[in-house]
Amino acid sequence: MSSNTILKDNLRAAILAEPDAVLDDKDLMQALVAADEQARGDNVIDLRGIAMQRLEARLDRLEDTHRSVIAAAYENLAGTNQVHRAILRLLEPVKFEDFLRTLGGEVADILRVDHITLVLETTVMQEDQAIEKLGGVLTVVEPGAINAYLSQDRGGPAREVVLRQTPNPSPRIFGATASQFRSEACLKLNLGEGRLPGMIVMGSKDANHFTPQLGTDLLSFFAGVFERSMRHWLS
């Protein structure tokens, strides 16, 4: 008995011992199908084989879609947890100054943004040392400035949440380091009847951190909770 015959006998015995291993091996099954097609010749068309190839391609696409859906679900869950943690942290301070410092410090860290600014409209424009002591987390602007900022570079009414890149970041919003920021999320705030609107601006040094293609549900929820907290502080 030659060595080739021994090898064939060994392979045959292995296959007979574990036939499921052959069926579960995608590459091995493709090699067997290819060998079968070569044995039939070029003048025979295997419609069943063609159908199987199409089904395999469709299955591969479904698996890719499945992985994408799972990844998106985990990402959405992580984002939800971040926003919930940020909101819980915002509810802890008992003084307004601490509330604002928490917004610009721990909340920004939890949300993984490089800067957060609270913008408030006022009819009295003056320099305030108390604002300066807050480290850039609060800035005041003239009435109408928030809607103008939200509708910047686009027509139509201002949206409640705007995600965009910032080729020319505003020093009024981001302070002396404005040139470092590449994208922003702008959340308009309704501070109650008879009050001028406010706005939260989250800035990132990553140009792809905030883009118009991203969902805004979680940011809208964060803005809704924040504006209710602000109404409490302003009452």
pTM for the whole thing? 0.67
Max mean pLDDT range (42-46, 98-102, 201-205)? 201-205
What are 168-200's pLDDT values in tens digits? 898 889 988 899 999 999 999 999 888 999 999
Q: What is the phi-psi region of residue 144: left when phi exceeds 0, alpha when psi lies from -120 to 50, beta otherwise?
A: left
Share of the chain above pLDDT 70, in %: 81
Protein fold of 68-234 = Beta-Lactamase (3.30.450)
Higher pLDDT, 15 or 205: 205
What are 205-233's pLDDT values in tens digits? 999 999 988 888 899 999 999 999 999 88
Domain borders along the chain are 3-63, 68-234
